[in-house]
Amino acid sequence: MSIAEIQQAEGRGTPVLRRFLRKRTGVAGLVMLVVPLVAGLCAPLLVRIEGQDPNTLHTDLLHPDGGRPLGAFGGVSADHWLGVIPVTGVDLFAQIVYGIRSSLFIAFGASILSIAFAAVLGTAIGYFGGWLNAVAGRVIDFMFGFPGLMFVIAIMAIVPPEMPRGLVLVLVLAFFGWTVPARIIGAQAGAINARTFVEAARATGAAPWQIIRREMLPHLFGLVVVLFAMSLPGNVSVVAGLSFLGVGLRGDVPDLGKLLSDSLPWIYSGADVWYMLFPGAVVFLIVFGATLAGDALRDVLDVRMEDAA
Amino acid sequence: MPDPVLQVEDLCVSFTSGGVTADVVRDLSVRLDGGRTLAVVGESGSGKTITGRAIMRLLPRGASARGRIVVAGREMLSADERELRRARGSDVAMVFQDSMSALSPYLDIGAHIAQAVRLHDPSVTRRAARARAVEMLDRVGIPEPANAVCRFPHEFSGGMRQRAVIAMALVNRPALLIADEPTTALDVTVQAQILALLRELQQEYGMAMLLISHDFGVVGSVADDVLVLYAGRQAEYGSLRDIFDQPAHPYTVGLRAATPRLDARLDTGGERTRLRAIPGAPTSLRDAGPGCAFAPRCGLADQVGERCVVETPLPTVRPTSESGGLHLAACHLDRLPALQEVAR
């Protein structure tokens, strides 16, 4: 066999992507996640195409008595794709796409940070075990016993106004988000470390970092991706929830949670249900899409399931 | 006499957990020359696997080894991590029992072997290491090696996988191969092939082999010398011939009687014989007091009396059948009664 043949055979790509694309729920989830994400990324462009901006008031589109939007579906028209917000008459579509931006980016940031930290710590726990495992385990126990959400609310309530609230949110969410993933990755890494092929690598003279990189990380990669995909919807919900409670982003920054919170009276009175339905649908799409995509990813990346199939 | 490839002197391995210390290997001394095969035999828990691990310094957490282990001139117990990594895979390599779990499911066969090559010679290019893997697969009798390097472990049969594991272990031509039950997970016809392959490669490379096994059939077909372990201690050591023909330790006799034999009917003139189990279970290593560890299970202990319970027998020289090889047994009985009697 020539070297060219060896290379050719080696060049076979791993069919992970193809297997993922075969999963209908996964693809559907990915679309549900990616469409809002792209909309958030292109928010300024989309809003310009619509011919609106997220701050201009359109009081002429509101009912003079009570301030609910005129027209069907909360004032949906060619000019205002998702209608306008009651009382102020701000364009809802513009608010939503800008809101996706802040919510989703904070959620992404927090998930990336927490899962990256969890991956490093978990791998170290699994490989070195011993006292590191004991210490990290107790710290995680402590974090479990800690009322995380209360703490986040308390912190966000006292953040000085000159600090960037978005960044603080990312850090605070990441701080509370790494524990469960770290424990899961640590357990998995420990199980891999005990397997014979790691022993076999050691018996051929591999150094610790070589074992971690070549033997352990490929096994952990799928788990890490899945944990990331699973932590994302949670963080989106928490960011929305915090804004809903009034301790999220600053008042003038568009945000999905804030939209939901502001829409509450209008859905109680039934005067403008669309004010809640449109942003609610977007949050639902993102959370549901990320969950579906995460599930499908787990199935695709899990070797054991692959073997069973 | 040339320097032995493996020299073990007074090896003790103990486990400590929860403040309790258990000696799993005690006062073990072994000498193994290049080109020869030493079989280490014993029940589960006799310390045979731990002995193999200790030689590579791959002991589990909580275990510590004392004594002296020299592999190809290198002191293993005092070596630092760097030196150990250099020794592992190039001076001493290991073949594992379960070939499925000894190969990473994420790496193809070639990657395993190429990695072993490049770990010990970083100057080898990826391509060259890959080519070396193909060569090695061919050498261990894998058909279409150029194709096989790109296969993943689960695409191989058990026998093929074990061949690949052997290729991975031997690609750097180690002076010593530790084969830990290399054929236990394989079916009988494949067992014979793998053993023949190991033998053949051993002759070719002139390496020493430490074969860990509980199967006297396997031992009989490959070993030159046999070390019988019981409760971490050397029960008997001798040439294959001596161990088979004139065992000097009741435990060895018991092990032999517990091994199924195709020729058993011929021996007994056509009468059906039942396999004999050694009564009882191996003693707990934790509360090992004085006396012979095998005494509670030994059918001959009452012939000696109290001595078996109070005094630990040391290995003493026993008669050999020919050529004056070393034959040691740790038993207070100088002479065992005829085989049939002991087994009864």
Over residues B54-65, the pLDDT tens digits come to: 999 998 888 889
pLDDT tens per residue, range A36-91: 889 888 888 888 888 778 777 777 777 777 777 777 777 777 777 777 887 787 88
Residue B167 with chain A: CB contacts under 8 Å = none
Query: What is the domain range of residue B195?
Result: 6-105+174-343
Instruction: Report the pLDDT value the prediction gives residue B263, as an integer from 0 to 100.
Output: 57
**Whole-angstrom distance, CA of residue B18 vs CA of residue A130:** 14
Mark yes or no for CB contact A205/B85 under 8 Å: yes
* Chain B interface includes A10 (CB < 8 A): yes
Q: Pick the residue from chain A with its C-alpha nearest to B108.
A: A10
Domain-embedded: residue B209? yes
Domain-embedded: residue B61? yes
Residue predicted with more confidence, B141 or A67: B141
User: What's the structural domain count of chain B?
Assistant: 1
A113-127, A288-302, B185-199, B328-342: range with highest mean pLDDT: A113-127
Mark yes or no for CB contact A199/B58 under 8 Å: yes
pTM of the model: 0.77
Interface test with A, best of B92, B101, B104 (most A CBs within 10 A): B104
Q: How far apart are the first and last CA of chain A?
A: 32
Confidence of residue B344 (pLDDT cuts 50, 70, 90): very low
Domain-embedded: residue B287? yes
Domain-embedded: residue B120? no
Instruction: Report the pLDDT value the prediction gives residue B36, as an integer from 0 to 100.
Output: 92
The mean of the pLDDT values for chain A is 82
Instruction: Report the pLDDT value the prediction gives residue A157, as an integer from 0 to 100.
Output: 85
Domain-embedded: residue B317? yes
Of chain B, the percentage scoring pLDDT greater than 90 comes to 40
The shortest CB-CB distance from A203 to any of B88, B103, B149 is to B88
Instruction: Report the pLDDT value the prediction gives residue B6, as an integer from 0 to 100.
Output: 94
Just give the CATH number of A25-308: 1.10.3720.10
Give residue A126's identity as a one-letter amino acid code. Answer: G
Domain-embedded: residue B328? yes
Give Cα separations from A99 to A54, A161, A274 (angstroms): 10, 20, 16
Which range is least confidently modeled, A39-48, B99-108, B330-339? Answer: B330-339
Q: Pick the residue from chain B with its C-alpha nearest to A203.
A: B88
Q: Pick the residue from chain B with its C-alpha nearest to A197.
A: B102
Question: Domain residue spans in chain A?
Answer: 25-308
Mean pLDDT throughout B93-105?
88
Tell me the pairing of strands B176-180 and B328-329.
Answer: unpaired
Residue predicted with more confidence, A15 or A276: A276
Mark yes or no for CB contact B58/A207 under 8 Å: no
Quick one: chain A helix, strand, coil %, rounded to 5? 75, 0, 25
Instruction: Report the pLDDT value the prediction gives residue A8, as an integer from 0 to 100.
Output: 43
A87-96, A247-256, B190-199: range with highest mean pLDDT: B190-199
Q: Pick the residue from chain A with its C-alpha nearest to B138.
A: A1
Instruction: Report the pLDDT value the prediction gives residue A171, as an integer from 0 to 100.
Output: 92
The torsion region of residue B206 among left (phi > 0), alpha (psi -120 to 50) and beta comes to left
Quick one: chain B helix, strand, coil %, rounded to 5? 35, 20, 45
Mean pLDDT throughout B166-192?
90
**Whole-angstrom distance, CA of residue A31 vs CA of residue A33:** 5
Domain-embedded: residue B312? yes
Confidence of residue A5 (pLDDT cuts 50, 70, 90): very low
Does A256 have pLDDT greater than 80?
yes
Mark yes or no for CB contact B102/A5 under 8 Å: no
pLDDT tens per residue, range A183-221: 999 999 999 998 889 999 999 989 999 999 888 888 888
Q: Domain of B192: which CATH number?
A: 3.40.50.300
Instruction: Report the pLDDT value the prediction gives residue A66, as an integer from 0 to 100.
Output: 73
Do B246 and B342 meet the contact criterion of CB atoms below 8 Å apart? no
pLDDT tens per residue, range B153-172: 888 888 899 999 999 999 99
Closest chain B C-alpha to A186 CA, distance in angstroms: 17
Domain-embedded: residue B295? yes
Long-range contacts, B137-143 (Cβ 8 Å, 24+): B137/B109, B137/B110, B137/B113, B137/B163, B137/B164, B137/B167, B139/B167, B139/B201, B140/B164, B140/B166, B140/B167, B140/B170, B140/B197, B140/B201, B141/B193, B141/B197, B142/B167
**Which A residues, 11 through 30, put their C-beta within 8 Å of a C-beta on chain B?**
12
Does B234 have pLDDT greater than 60?
yes
Which range is least confidently modeled, A259-273, B50-64, B124-138? Answer: A259-273
